[in-house]
C-alpha cells in the first residue's frame, strides 16, 4: 500500500481525474452486464466473473482518485450522442456496455502506468478477460434463445416477406430462417441483411438456409443445413462455436449422425406431405415419437404442420415446431403466431396438470 502511495503522490491531478472517471465507467458497465448474467441468463459462472472484475477495480479506486473528481467542471458532462438515448434490445444494451468497459480498461491500462506500474498491467489482463466474456455472452445468449424457442418460421418467397416476418415477430416469434432456393446471391445478401436487422430488433434469432458463406456475409446467428449441404464440421470451422448450426433429418440414422457431428438442433420431418419438400415422403408421427424419446438436443417438428394438425404433433411428443405456409400465407401473421404460441402454452399447462395428478 505504501508503494502505491509513493507513486500516486507524483500523479498529476488530471490523470487522477481520468482514472477516477474510467474506473467508474468500467465498474458501472460491468454491473449492467452482471445484472443480465444474473437475472437474464441465470448464470452463476458469468455473474461471478463480472463481480470479481468489479471488485478488483474497486480496490484500485482509492480516496486520492475520488478526491480528484470535479463533476461540475467536467466539460464532458454536456456531451451526448443520439445513439445513447435508445437501445433496441437486450443485446444492444450488452454490446454498448461491453464496448464501454473495454474502452475504459484501455484508458486505465495506459494512464494507470503513471499511477502505479501494476495498475496498467492489471487492467490490460482484465481487458482480455472482458473480450472473452463478450464472446461467451454472445454464445450463451444465442444458445439460450434457441433452447427457449418453441416456434420457428422458415420463410418462403413472398412479395410480403418483410411484412409477414415482422408480423410474426410482433406475435412473439423468436426464431426465423430465410429460405429462398431460387434467389441469386445478391438478392439473398440484401434480403438477409434486412431480415437479420428486423429479427434483432425484436431480439429474435436469424438463420440462413444452406449457405455458410451467406450466413457470414449477413452476420446471421447461424445456418440451417440440409442433408446434401456441407458437413457440420466444415461449417463449424467457418462459423465458430458461437453461431448456431442446424440440420434437417428424416429418420433416426440421420438424426444420430447430426448429433454426433455436433449440430445445435435438428429438424424432424417432414411430418406430413408438403409442397415445400416436393418428392420427399413424409416421415410421419412415428419419427416425431422417436425424436421425443431419443434426441438430447433441441429439435423442431416440421412439414405440413398447421393449426389443425399441431395438436396431433404435440401429442406425439413434439415441444418445438417449425412452420412455413401456416404463417407465410396467413392474412394476419401476428394472430396466427399468437395462436400457435397460445396452443403450446395451453398444452404445456395441461401436461403439467396431468403429471401432478399421476
Q: 170-217: per-residue pLDDT in tens?
A: 999 999 999 999 999 999 999 999 999 999 999 999 999 999 999 999
Supply the CATH number for residue 314's domain: 3.20.20.70
201 with 328, same domain: the answer is yes
Is the predicted pLDDT of residue 1 greater than 50, yes or no? no
What is the distance of C-alpha 282 from the center of its chain?
32
253 with 352, same domain: the answer is yes
3-class state of residue 176 by DSSP: strand
Residues 301 and 322 sit within 8 Å (Cβ to Cβ)? yes
177 with 220, same domain: the answer is yes
pLDDT band per the 50, 70, 90 thresholds, residue 21: very high
Total domains present in the chain:
2
Give the span between the Cα atoms of 245 and 220, in whole angstroms.
11
168 with 255, same domain: the answer is yes
C-alpha cell belonging to residue 267: 429438424
Name the active-site residue from 27, 150, 277, 320: 277
pLDDT band per the 50, 70, 90 thresholds, residue 88: confident
Name the active-site residue from 179, 196, 243, 320: 179
Tell me which of 127, 144, 161 is where a domain ends. 144
25 with 157, same domain: the answer is no
95 with 203, same domain: the answer is no
Give the span between the Cα atoms of 319 and 149, in whole angstroms.
10
Q: Which residue has the higher pLDDT, 205 or 92?
A: 205
- pLDDT computed for residue 276 by the predictor: 73
* Residue-range definition of the domain harbouring residue 125: 2-69+84-144
Tell me which of 115, 144, 173 is where a domain ends. 144
299 with 156, same domain: the answer is yes
Full-model pTM = 0.81
Residue 56's closest CA among 136, 109, 126, 106?
Answer: 126
- pLDDT computed for residue 55 by the predictor: 96
225 with 275, same domain: the answer is yes
> Is there a domain that residue 74 lies in?
no
Confirm whether 248 is a catalytic residue: yes
Q: How far, CA to CA in Å, does 37 sit from each of 31, 108, 199?
A: 10, 24, 22
315 with 254, same domain: the answer is yes
Which helix (DSSP H) or strand (DSSP E) does residue 234 occupy?
helix 232-239
Residues 182 and 157 sit within 8 Å (Cβ to Cβ)? yes
Tell me which of 99, 126, 144 is where a domain ends. 144
Neighbouring residues of 95: CB distance < 8 A, sequence distance ≥ 6: none
3-class state of residue 354 by DSSP: helix
> Is there a domain that residue 190 lies in?
yes
Span 71-93, average pLDDT: 70
Which helix (DSSP H) or strand (DSSP E) does residue 207 occupy?
strand 205-209
> Is there a domain that residue 77 lies in?
no
What angle separates helix 232-239 from helix 252-261, to the nearest 10 degrees? 30
Confirm whether 277 is a catalytic residue: yes
> Is there a domain that residue 78 lies in?
no
Name the active-site residue from 247, 248, 295, 320: 248
**Least confident window among 88-92, 199-203, 261-265:** 88-92
> Is there a domain that residue 172 lies in?
yes
pLDDT band per the 50, 70, 90 thresholds, residue 150: very high
331 with 200, same domain: the answer is yes
- pLDDT computed for residue 143 by the predictor: 93
165 with 310, same domain: the answer is yes
Q: What is the pLDDT of residues 223-259, one digit of tens each?
A: 999 999 999 999 999 999 999 999 999 999 999 999 9
> Is there a domain that residue 338 lies in?
yes
> Is there a domain that residue 313 lies in?
yes
> Is there a domain that residue 79 lies in?
no
Q: What is the DSSP string of 25-37?
A: HHHHHHHHHHHII
140 with 153, same domain: the answer is no
Amino acid at each position: 500500500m505504501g508503494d502505491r502511495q509513493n507513486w500516486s503522490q507524483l500523479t498529476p491531478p488530471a490523470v487522477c481525474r481520468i482514472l477516477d472517471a474510467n474506473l467508474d465507467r468500467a465498474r458501472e458497465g460491468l454491473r449492467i452486464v452482471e445484472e443480465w448474467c444474473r437475472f437474464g441468463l441465470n448464470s452463476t459462472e458469468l455473474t461471478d466473473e463480472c463481480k470479481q472484475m468489479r471488485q478488483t477495480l474497486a480496490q484500485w479506486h482509492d480516496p486520492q482518485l475520488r478526491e480528484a473528481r470535479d463533476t461540475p467542471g467536467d466539460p464532458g458532462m454536456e456531451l451526448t450522442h443520439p445513439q445513447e438515448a435508445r437501445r433496441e434490445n437486450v443485446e444492444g444494451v450488452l454490446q454498448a456496455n461491453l464496448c464501454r468497459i473495454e474502452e475504459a480498461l484501455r484508458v486505465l491500462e495506459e494512464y494507470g502506468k503513471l499511477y502505479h506500474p501494476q495498475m496498467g498491467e492489471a487492467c490490460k489482463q482484465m481487458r482480455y478477460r472482458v473480450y472473452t466474456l463478450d464472446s461467451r455472452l454472445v454464445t450463451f445468449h444465442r444458445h439460450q434463445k434457441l433452447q427457449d424457442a418453441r416456434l420457428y418460421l422458415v420463410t418462403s418467397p413472398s412479395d410480403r416477406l418483410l411484412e409477414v416476418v415482422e408480423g410474426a415477430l410482433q406475435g412473439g416469434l423468436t426464431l426465423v430462417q430465410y429460405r429462398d432456393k431460387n434467389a441469386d446471391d445478391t438478392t439473398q445478401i440484401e434480403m438477409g441483411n434486412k431480415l437479420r436487422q428486423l429479427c434483432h430488433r425484436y431480439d429474435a434469432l436469424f438463420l440462413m438456409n444452406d449457405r455458410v458463406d451467406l450466413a457470414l456475409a449477413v452476420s446471421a446467428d447461424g445456418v440451417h443445413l440440409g442433408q446434401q449441404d456441407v458437413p457440420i464440421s466444415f461449417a463449424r470451422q467457418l462459423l465458430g462455436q458461437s453461431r448456431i448450426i442446424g440440420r434437417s433429418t428424416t429418420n433416426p440414422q440421420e438424426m444420430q449422425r447430426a448429433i454426433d457431428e455436433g449440430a445445435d438442433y435438428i429438424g424432424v420431418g417432414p411430418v406430413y406431405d408438403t409442397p415445400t419438400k416436393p418428392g420427399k415422403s413424409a416421415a410421419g408421427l412415428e419419427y416425431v415419437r422417436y425424436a421425443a424419446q431419443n434426441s438430447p438436443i433441441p429439435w423442431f417438428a416440421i412439414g405440413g404442420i398447421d393449426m389443425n394438425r399441431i395438436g396431433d404433433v404435440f401429442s406425439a411428443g413434439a415441444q418445438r415446431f417449425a412452420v412455413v405456409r401456416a404463417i407465410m400465407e396467413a392474412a394476419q401473421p401476428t394472430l396466427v403466431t399468437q395462436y400457435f404460441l397460445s396452443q403450446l402454452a395451453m398444452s404445456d399447462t395441461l401436461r403439467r396438470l396431468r403429471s401432478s395428478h399421476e
